[in-house]
Amino acid sequence: MRPDTRAIADFKSLFGVSPVAGIVTAQWRANRRIARARVEGPENLFVDLEDLNVRRALEEKYASLLAAHGMRHLDISELRSTQRVVTQTIALELYVAGKAGVVYGSTLDNERCIAVFEGRSTLTRYGSPQTLDADDEDLLAVCKAWTIEIEPD
């Protein structure tokens, strides 16, 4: 739902304000819950793609694949690019090798993200699921960052 920079610029030049990417309705929030959770599994089975040594090893192993897609190196920017065939191929190989998932930085804010390979770890909830209220601090922050409006209750 996030508009790209050209769409934002075009919208601003036409209407003088930033576009709204979408609306989180009261009905949508009523049908969902939010809860804290923790990914549990053997630490050594998660591949940290932020680690330079890990990327160097992957770069060497997948040199032909990277070259075929015009990548000189397996830099963070390349891992976060839209070259999904590269990241999906590497992820499949890691899955086949018995890994539990990958750890990487978000393209939005560089916060830590974990992609879990199905059946290799568990997601454990702690605390009770809560309703997603219109004034929820985390919801407000996400909606602000993505230019999404929140319909009041």
> Which tens digit of pLDDT belongs to each residue from 81-103?
776 888 889 999 999 999 999 99
Residue 118 to residue 143: CA distance in whole angstroms? 29
Q: Give the bridge partners for 130, in sequence order.
A: 34
Q: Is residue 34 situated within a structural domain?
A: no
Q: Is residue 72 situated within a structural domain?
A: yes
Q: What is the pLDDT of residue 134?
A: 93
Burial 29-49 (b: 16+ CB within 10 A, else e): beeeeeeeeeeebeeeebbeb
**Chain segment 16-27, per-residue pLDDT in tens:** 877 777 889 999
Q: Is residue 57 situated within a structural domain?
A: yes
Structure tokens at 126: 């702690």
Q: Is residue 152 situated within a structural domain?
A: no
Question: pLDDT tier at 2 (50, 70, 90 boundaries)?
Answer: low
CB distance 112 to 37 below 8 Å: no
Q: Is residue 66 situated within a structural domain?
A: yes
Q: How many domains does the chain have?
A: 1
Q: Is the model's pLDDT at 3 over the cut of 80?
A: no
Structural domain containing residue 98: 42-120
Q: Is residue 150 situated within a structural domain?
A: no
pTM for this prediction: 0.65
